[in-house]
Amino acid sequence: MSFSVGENTDVPMSDINTTPLVDVMLVLLIIFLIAVPVVIQSVDVKLPDVRFDPTTTKPENVSLSVKASDTGACEVYWNLTRVDSTDLLNRAVDKLRLEIEKQGGPDAPGLELPEVHIRGDVNTPYRCIGGTIFTMQRAGFARVGFISEPPPGGSVARL
């Protein structure tokens, strides 16, 4: 209960006493500070350090773009040509065979196999990109990488 001490004592006081409210809020804050770390469960995971390396584009590398159509079907583009999964596998096998023959056959010293660079749209489901990776690995490509966009305004950081 509040009192008004002063000249006009006949008028009731209309101010709210906030002291009990502050006391209750402080008690709740202390309870939550103690209870939250107990409730949150975590597993220690060592995540890899990521750095942005500039991509070296070689003419023998394969550039694929993967996105989902409006109907949800996967669309894969070899450079600018749309391909289905069978055509993708056939092109990949032919490309790898041609590159190996150019370098002197599978037993040639210093054999450098081409890489696959995949550009995946942000809204593409994982099954589309995963299927593309599987197809390229099935064709014999050992190195499959992703082309990403570095953060805007950020510089290339070396670790």
pTM comes to 0.60
For the segment 99-120, the average pLDDT, to the nearest whole number, is 86
Digit-coded pLDDT (tens) for 55-80: 677 888 898 999 988 888 999 999 88
Query: How far apart (Å, rounded) are the C-alpha atoms in residues 63 and 84?
Result: 15
Is the CB of residue 72 less than 8 Å from the CB of residue 128?
A: no
Helix extents (H) in the chain? 19-39, 85-102, 126-139
Of 43-47, 52-56, 107-111, 122-126, least confident by mean pLDDT is 43-47
Q: Give the 3-state secondary structure percentages of the chain, helix then strand then coil, rounded to 5.
A: 35, 15, 50
Q: What are phi and psi of 77, to 5 degrees?
A: -120, 125
What is the band of 159 on the pLDDT scale with cuts at 50, 70, 90? Answer: very low
Nearest to 96 by CA among 61, 133, 135: 61
* Record: fold of 62-146: Nucleotidyltransferase; domain 5 (3.30.420)
Higher local confidence (pLDDT), 156 or 14: 14
Q: To the nearest whole percent, how much of the chain has pLDDT over 70? A: 77
Digit-coded pLDDT (tens) for 133-146: 999 999 999 888 88
For position 103, what pLDDT does the model report? Answer: 85
**Angle of helix 85-102 relative to helix 126-139, nearest 10 degrees?**
40
Contacts of 130 (CB under 8 A, 6+ apart): none
Cα distances from 147 to residues 2, 62, 135, 150, in angstroms, run 68, 12, 18, 10
Where are the chain's structural domains?
62-146
Instruction: For the chain, report the end-to-end CA distance as a whole number of angstroms.
Output: 64
